[in-house]
Amino acid sequence: MGPLLEVKNLKKHFSVNKGSIFNKNVGTLKAVDDVSFEVYKGETLGLVGESGCGKSTAGRCILRLIEPTEGEISFEGRDLRALNAKDIRRARKDLQMVFQDPYASLNPRMKVRDIISEPILLHGITRGREVQNRVAKLLDVVGLAPYHADRYAHEFSGGQRQRIGIARALAVEPKLVVCDEPVSALDVSIQAQVINLMEDLQREFDLTFIFIAHDLSVVHHISDRVAVMYLGRVVEIAGYSELYKNSQHPYTKALLSAIPVANPKLKKERIVLKGDVMSPIDLPPGCNFHNRCPHAAAVCKETAPVLKDIGNGHKVACHMI
Ligand code: SF4
């Protein structure tokens, strides 16, 4: 079976302007630069990297919440980039997003009932009394009580708000949900609850997830495969166990070394990267990681490595592999 979602050579570049009168172009920020990956039905693809690596921008481009600069996005074989504004709104019934900040993503002036029923009505999922039955069912599914429907978003904790955001995303029975750092604004104790809830919902509703996070420990349990991004590019992609046991890219190795181990007897050496992430504006040629990489050679400063298939569904972008 082919992939549910196929992203090919996706680019999102922003021009950087300066000056209030002439607004002169002073450079280009390549937030997403030639990113390709597939997502298969029923799986979770973790999209991982430091802040500013382009993972959230890539997620928003897929849903066409922002317009990509170049590239192909195909969902169930349909070219999403070819859809007009009306058709893309219709397509969003199948493609939903759970946002990072549960405090900012819910309208504080709306009752929970209206927040969840809005997309149901918009997409004509059901009408009349059935809408309220559906809201009650969705609240139940995400672990909230029926009386919560008559409260406002500001009356809830961060974890509860994220549950409301998830209920709203599920209200239209989507096929693919892009979860944009859905737990990073939550306390660690609540993070596990929300991730467990998402896993349960995935099984129950046959959902496919792209789960965006800034470290591998968050996507650890939920991801079937993981794509690691660094400064706008995917540097490594593999099944989670393959990546965990056989990571090849120096950046992935550093990320993996930062995952805490539960067993205090197991000694794990933390790889601390030297140097800072380069400015994403007008990046020099070559590998974007070369100024921090312990294995960098002359070729790394001249030519950008492309993703190479090394077997077992594992791809790496590094000249030394
Ligand atoms: Fe390091 Fe070169 Fe590989 Fe980039 S291409 S990760 S700089 S060895």
Atom of ligand 1 nearest to the CA of 299: 2
Is 293 within a domain? yes
Tell me the CA–centroid distance for residue 218 and ligand 1, in Å: 25
Nearest to 49 by CA among 225, 236, 208: 236
Tell me the CA–centroid distance for residue 215 and ligand 1, in Å: 20
* Number of alpha carbons in the 13 Å side-chain half-sphere of residue 114: 10
**In which element (H, E) is residue 72 found?**
strand 70-75
CA-based radius of gyration for the chain: 21
CB 213, CB 46: distance < 8 Å: yes
Q: What is the pLDDT of residue 17?
A: 83
Q: Can you say how many angstroms the Cα of residue 235 is from the centroid of all Cα atoms in its chain?
A: 16
Tell me the CA–centroid distance for residue 233 and ligand 1, in Å: 13
- Contact 175 CB / ligand 1 (< 6 Å): no
Nearest to 111 by CA among 70, 152, 60, 167: 152
Q: What is the pLDDT of residue 20?
A: 67
pTM comes to 0.92
pLDDT tens string, the chain, 321 residues long: the values are 789 999 999 999 999 887 767 677 878 999 999 999 999 999 999 999 998 899 999 999 999 999 999 999 999 999 999 999 999 999 999 999 998 877 788 888 899 999 999 999 999 888 888 999 999 999 998 999 999 999 998 899 888 999 999 999 999 999 999 999 988 878 888 888 889 889 988 998 899 999 999 888 888 788 999 999 999 999 999 999 999 999 999 999 999 988 877 777 777 788 888 888 999 898 899 999 999 999 999 999 999 999 999 999 999 999 998
Is 273 within a domain? yes
Query: Residue written as tokens 């393959």?
Result: 242
Tell me the CA–centroid distance for residue 260 and ligand 1, in Å: 25
Is 152 within a domain? no
- Contact 290 CB / ligand 1 (< 6 Å): yes
Closest residue (by CA) to atom 3 of ligand 1?
318
Nearest to 202 by CA among 164, 176, 165: 176
* DSSP per position, 300-311: HHHSPPPPEE-S
Atom of ligand 1 nearest to the CA of 235: 6
- Contact 300 CB / ligand 1 (< 6 Å): yes
Nearest to 52 by CA among 68, 25, 29, 73: 29
Testing ligand 1's pocket by substitution, the residue of 292, 300, 308, 315 carrying the most ligand atoms inside 8 A of its CB is 300
CA distance 36 to 38: 7
- Please give the tally of structural domains in the chain: 1
Is 184 within a domain? yes
Q: What is the CATH number of the domain that holds 260?
A: 3.40.50.300
Testing ligand 1's pocket by substitution, the residue of 278, 295, 315 carrying the most ligand atoms inside 8 A of its CB is 295
Atom of ligand 1 nearest to the CA of 319: 5
Is 281 within a domain? yes
- Contact 320 CB / ligand 1 (< 6 Å): yes
- Contact 319 CB / ligand 1 (< 6 Å): yes
CA distance 240 to 183: 19
Is 189 within a domain? yes
Is 109 within a domain? no
Atom of ligand 1 nearest to the CA of 305: 5
Where in the sequence is the domain holding 30, given as residue range(s)?
5-94+174-316
Tell me the CA–centroid distance for residue 209 and ligand 1, in Å: 30
Q: Can you say how many angstroms the Cα of residue 81 is from the centroid of all Cα atoms in its chain?
A: 19
Tell me the CA–centroid distance for residue 288 and ligand 1, in Å: 8
Atom of ligand 1 nearest to the CA of 300: 2
Quick one: tokens of 312?
A: 């077992």
Is 295 within a domain? yes
